[in-house]
Structure 1
Amino acid sequence: MTAPSHDGLRPGPSSRARERVIMHVDMDAFYASVELRRRPELVGRPVYVGGERRGVVLSANYQARAFGIAGGMSSAKARRMCPQAVAIPPDFDAYTEVSAGIGAVFESVTGRVEMASIDEAYLDVTGSLRPCGDARALGELLRALVHDEQGITCSVGIGRNKFIAKVASSQAKPDGLVEVPPGGEAAFLHPLAVEQIWGVGESTAGKLHRLGIVTVGDLADTPVGTLRRAFGPHQGALLADLAWGRDDRRVIARAGERGVGCQRTLAHDISDPARVRTELLRVCATVARRMRRAGVLGRVLTVTIRFADFQTASKSATLSGLTDTTDELHAQAMLLYHRLRASGTPIRRVGVRVQGLVEAGKAYCQPTLDAPERGWREAEVAMDAVRRKFGPQCLERAVLARSD
């Protein structure tokens, strides 16, 4: 099919827009997934987050959805539809912490991350494909990182604009990936129901159905004048554009410099300095690995500590030189931790973030006079290769393997 020409409509995507690679990453049943992560005995049973008898359903796992339970439904109705479902009261602090950890994963890949909500984000990865080779490989890497680090699954949609990526991620659910290649938008969209279009709710879908428009293909074949008369000049033109996959919205990143980071929420609050040292080492190792994978070195390190009383504190320092090695990051992180430490206050989360990034291929690192020809960096690069081949759990420093 070829998109028709409509007076007053924007032309098709420019050559620059066609080159964009946009991902939409959406967590699967986010609140419920976070709860099941810490209550594995409930895996496989219908579960929803919300009041047991009163209130509304905030999230339901896929076993509960099979009974018709959905977000926004009253808890009383959910109980009638599935009396055996387990209701879990929400823990928004936990959800916020997991969301922050997921955001850190995304920002380790690209600085152009738009968190659309607590459980979904748009990523412009146009300039970030080189380390992985292509968009699909990068999307699978992100899915693996989220699962390995946060214990939940996500679905990824890839396209050349935000609308296509969003629809693709919905088609990928649960726990999948769908890529729409440039030029394949019509073939992907047109068989879908019009309800799949962004902004088409129950009311708009009803009006479209009364016009005989059931699929996106039907919508694409409808004269734009008809749509404008039925929905108004703005919405009618927008529906026509979306039916052909046209969307010129940009990914709007949060203000601030790109960084590579990692946050780890501990299974139990800790106060033993040796345990804190180990957990900071674990986080620094993850950050260093991400930096090497992204091909960047950094010089500004920030440590963030969240205490058991939910107070958060952070400190930053500039390193003496550019680095991507665990031990250098960890040494500076420990110095910052000692400046942050509140005597006797247990810790529930540790985080490390590196900024001041420079492409590794364009940076010069002055070695010290006593530096060996081959050191920990070469060892870590070799470990990276082994982990890529055999999986992230196959090789670890002994102190981390013992304490995990």
Structure 2
Amino acid sequence: MTQPVRRIIHIDMDAFYASVEQRDNPALRGRPVAVGRSQERGVVAAASYEARPFGIRSAMPSLLAQRRCPQLVFVPPRFEVYRAVSAQIHAIFARYTPLIQPLSLDEAYLDITHPLIRRASATAIAQEIRAAILAETGLTASAGISYNKFLAKLASDHNKPNGQFVIPPGAGQDFVAPLPVGAFHGIGPATARRMNALGIQTGADLRAFPLETLRQHFGKAAAFYHGIAHGEDNRPVEPDRPRKSLGKETTFDQDLRHEPDLSEALRTLAEKVWTGCEKRALSGRTITLKLRHADFSQLTRSLSRQTPVRDQADLLQAGLYLLRPLLPLQKPVRLLGITVSSLCGPQATGGAEQLSLLPAT
């Protein structure tokens, strides 16, 4: 029996955080808005479409954003509101399919190969979902429709904001061919630079590389890169996709230079991370410490264990174990973070505890 062609929709809210703020405060409409803190160590979490012509983007330091756009309005984030609106949007998705894979609060994949509500086409379902989002939340969304996840995500960027685009079966390879590999979801900046150094600039260039040659340079990921260059992606939409890590980080108002200050900051972060672990009944076997220096250089240190983190004190001890070899500091620290990964149940066992330091990334 022939399997039906998959129909995947990628929904991406338009400038989600900033749009919520403009919706709730009419005085912000039509103005360049940045969600974030305007102070010296602030970072832009999201930018409205009015701010983007000035080059304002997420993760940009607030002072740089202010210099580029002096009329930029900063609004503090309200994540509890964004989560509530996201829940409304996901309730709309659930009318059409149980196969929903959230990527973040503002985007998700939907597999509507067998929809709960029949419509003439996947295009019609996407239009209906976007109309429902606008009617019920006052916000606009863009959609990409295709036969796999990779192409659906590419398509959702093609007609933003408040639009949608279809890449039909058979058209994926031609659509991908002229695009820069740096625009592909799943190819990060570092990988794109490595590809560029090999002469791989576009999807067509990537397609021209034999799979075995790609494996020599990119290992296990080569098969995925080879597939998407041909417009192929067999990954399913995963409604219950397991969380891979739990972590927290903080940017300091003043750079930290001394061990007691860093230890106290790490204590606070460990408390927050372990609270999240307890809430989800999770622990993990890998602990990663992240430091960003005043000059924005960054390093991470990780350790792996045979047994999961037992409690908050155990997590703090592991963080301090990773921090101490870095002291005394060569450069002051502006950001500190700690993450637990290789997640499992907190009662998992694996024999005697053993630490193994992994190389910095």
Q: Tell me, yes or no, whether TM beats 0.5.
A: yes
Aligned to 2:233, which of 247, 255, 273?
247
- SS where residue 50 of structure 2 aligns? helix
The equivalent of 1:197 in structure 2 is 184
Q: What one-letter code is carried by the residue in structure 2 that aligns with 1:19?
A: V
Q: CA deviation at 1:161?
A: 1.3
Deviations 1:118-172 (A, max 9, x none): 1111111111286321111111111111111111111101111111111111223
Q: Secondary structure at the match of 2:157?
A: helix
Kindly indicate whether residue 69 of structure 2 is the aligned counterpart of residue 69 of structure 1: no
SS at match of 1:248: coil
SS of the residue 1:58 aligns to: strand
- Of residues 18-27 and 28-37 in structure 1, the stretch that sits farther from structure 2 once superposed is 18-27
Superposed counterparts of 1:188-337, under 5 Å:
188-232=175-219, 234-254=220-240
The reply to whether residue 125 of structure 1 matches residue 112 of structure 2 is yes
Please tell me whether residue 91 in structure 1 is matched to residue 78 in structure 2: yes
The separation in 2 between residues aligned to 1:130 and 1:74, in whole angstroms, is 45
Q: Is the 1:60–1:70 Cα contact (8 Å) retained in structure 2?
A: yes
**Mapping for residues 70-219 of structure 1, pairs under 5 Å:** 70-128=57-115, 131-219=118-206
Q: Mean alpha-carbon deviation: is it higher for 41-50 or for 97-106?
A: 41-50
CA contact (8 A) 1:129 1:135 kept: no
- SS of residue paired to 2:124: helix
Q: Is the 8 A contact 1:112 1:123 kept in 2?
A: yes
Which secondary structure does the structure 2 equivalent of 1:45 belong to?
coil
Change (3 A) 1:15 1:84: farther
Question: For residues 146 and 103 of structure 1, what CA distance do their matches in structure 2 show?
Answer: 10
Secondary structure in 2 matching 1:66: helix
1:44 to 24, 30, 54: 30
Q: Tell me, in whole angstroms, the C-alpha distance in 2 between the residues paired with 1:225 and 1:132.
A: 43
CA distance in 1, matches of 2:221, 2:235: 16
Q: Which amino acid aligns with 1:59?
A: A
More helix by share: 1
Q: Does residue 56 of structure 1 match 2:56?
A: no
Change over 3 Å in CA distance of 1:184–1:39 after alignment to 2: same
Q: CA deviation at 1:225?
A: 2.3
Equivalent-residue separation in structure 2 for 1:121 and 1:237 (angstroms): 24
Q: Could you tell me which runs of 5 or more consecutive residues in structure 1 were left unpaired when the two chains were aligned.
A: 1-13, 256-404
The C-alpha deviation readout for 1:188-233, integer Å capped at 9, x for no partner, is 111211112222122111111122211111111112222122222x
In 2, Cα distance between equivalents of 1:80 and 1:245 = 41
- The match for 2:10 is 24
In structure 2, C-alpha distance between the alignment counterparts of 1:137 and 1:238, rounded to whole Å: 30
- TM-score normalised per structure 1: 0.57
Q: Which amino acid aligns with 1:242?
A: I
Letter in 2 for 1:187: D
- Deviation at residue 15 of structure 1 after TM alignment: 5.3
In structure 1, what is the Cα distance between the partners aligned to 2:72 and 2:202?
Answer: 34
Larger Rg: 1
Letter in 2 for 1:156: A
Q: Runs of 4+ in structure 1 displaced over 2 angstroms?
A: 129-132
> Unpaired segments of 5 or more residues in structure 2?
242-361
Question: Cα RMSD between the aligned structures?
Answer: 1.8
C-alpha distance 228-129 of structure 1, shift in aligned 2 (>3 A): same
Q: Is the 8 A contact 2:123 2:166 kept in 1?
A: yes
Look up the equivalent residue of 1:175 and give its one-letter code. N
Percent identity between the aligned chains? 46
Q: C-alpha deviations, 1:361-386, integer Å up to 9, x for none?
A: xxxxxxxxxxxxxxxxxxxxxxxxxx
